[in-house]
């Protein structure tokens, strides 16, 4: 299944990602005078009226680009829609987390943006299950050898 197919399946039932989401647009265009323009995979509102930027990834190679795109989209939404950090939420939904887990965990630990990671499993019937991956804990400090 390609990322576009995944996007279309989730757009038909966005509640798989989170209850209370309302899809506003697929491939939401975001102009950006600070850099390159972008297209948010799924653009939604949550029950509290927050902008919800949903970035989908379907491969290890594509997952390496996720955080770069997220940074770009957040700044684009702030500029284009006049949104503040606390009015923006991000969901990164990926079928592959091996390349994404460490940088995503670090981003979550260091940002004030509300961000959620979801690991997607798709069965042969194209049913999608979303679970929250266990993040790497960066608050442990140094390990000192005996």
Q: CATH no. for residue 120?
A: 3.40.1350.10
* Predicted TM-score (pTM) of this structure: 0.89
Q: Band of the pLDDT at 145, cuts 50, 70, 90?
A: low
Q: Residue 103 pLDDT more than 70?
A: yes
- Domain membership of residue 144 (yes or no) is no
Q: Band of the pLDDT at 58, cuts 50, 70, 90?
A: confident
- Domain membership of residue 76 (yes or no) is yes
**pLDDT at residue 139, as a whole number:** 62
- Domain membership of residue 121 (yes or no) is yes
**Host domain of residue 118:** 3-131
Looking at the structure of the chain, the number of domains it has is 1
**Residue 4, both tokens:** 């576009």
Q: Band of the pLDDT at 2, cuts 50, 70, 90?
A: confident
> How does pLDDT run across 114-138, given as a tens digit for each residue?
999 999 999 999 899 999 999 988 6
Q: Band of the pLDDT at 38, cuts 50, 70, 90?
A: confident
């Amino acid at each position: 299944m390609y990322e576009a197919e995944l996007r279309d399946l989730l757009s038909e039932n966005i509640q798989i990602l989170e209850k209370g989401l309302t899809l506003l647009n697929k491939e939401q265009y975001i102009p950006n005078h600070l850099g390159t323009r972008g297209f948010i995979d799924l653009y939604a509102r949550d029950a509290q009226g927050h902008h919800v930027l949903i970035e989908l990834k379907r491969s290890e190679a594509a997952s390496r680009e996720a955080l770069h795109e997220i940074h770009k989209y957040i700044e684009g939404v702030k500029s284009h829609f006049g949104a503040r950090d606390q009015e923006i939420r991000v969901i990164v939904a990926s079928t592959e987390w091996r390349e994404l887990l460490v940088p995503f965990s670090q981003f979550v630990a260091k940002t004030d943006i509300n961000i959620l990671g979801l690991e997607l499993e798709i069965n042969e019937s194209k049913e999608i299950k979303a679970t929250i991956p266990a993040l790497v804990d960066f608050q442990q400090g140094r390990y000192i050898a005996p």
